[in-house]
Amino acid sequence: MPSTRLNKYIASSGLCSRRKADELIESGVVMVNGKKITELGFSVQQKDKVFVNGKLIHPVKHLYYRFYKPAGYITTSEDEKGRKTIYDILPESLHGLKPVGRLDRESTGLLILTNDGDLINELTHPSVRVPKLYRVVVNAKITQNDIDAMAKGIEFEDGKKAYAQVEVLEADNTSTTMEILLFQGLNRQIRRMFEFLGYNVLSLKRVQHANLTLFGLKRGEFKPIKPQQIKELRNFLSNLAKKND
């Protein structure tokens, strides 16, 4: 193969994004053929041996999957408390894939799984403002004042401000069903916003991430994302980035 930029080579191993690879190179933990490399523009050939933190890495084929996470599983590879993780459901062949963002234990819905570090970075970097759509049910009829407050932003105790766009689908005196659109990725953002406003979340499901949806998936099911869909996703992200420049 022709020469490849070192950061791209590292990212193609699934270890991290190119941006993170640059940080690893600058920190001095990357070696090529036994020589420490700190030059960001360095290129490697197919025959070269690349080590990160003493571990030999190789480019891998990028895989992309949609997964419908059920309730009761956490979005991590292992848990010190012994709780069930999504990898208890997924076959071992997919255990090398990482989720793009997280859903808390009782939340359900769409997770994108991949070993493409660059794509993970694009989908989660705050500057890109990738939309995520959720179907949420709370235990009371939501007021217009609270909808407006979520749009204007709610400041949490840690000083972070959370925003959400709310569209009410159905409401009565005992519950409200809504679609919630987020452009942030704060920890347990939706649940914390409703808790702040005095509501209990009865169910929370992610139905769309960027331009990918749950369509055609049953709970607990996973399916590969087709090459054409990945192309469309990259175009979607590229257009978002231009819009946010």
Which residues are tagged catalytic?
104
Half-sphere exposure of 166 (CA within 13 A, CB side): 27
186, two tokens: 């704060």
11 backbone φψ class: left, alpha, beta (φ>0; ψ -120 to 50): alpha
Collapsed DSSP state (helix, strand, coil) of residue 53: coil
Q: How far is CA 132 from CA 27, 151, 201, in A?
A: 34, 15, 18
Query: How far, in Å, CA of 92 to CA of 85, rounded?
Result: 13
DSSP conformation letters of 197-211: HT--EEEEEEEEETT
Contact yes or no for 233/211 (Cβ under 8 A) = yes
Which two structure tokens, joined as six digits, stand for 20?
């993170």
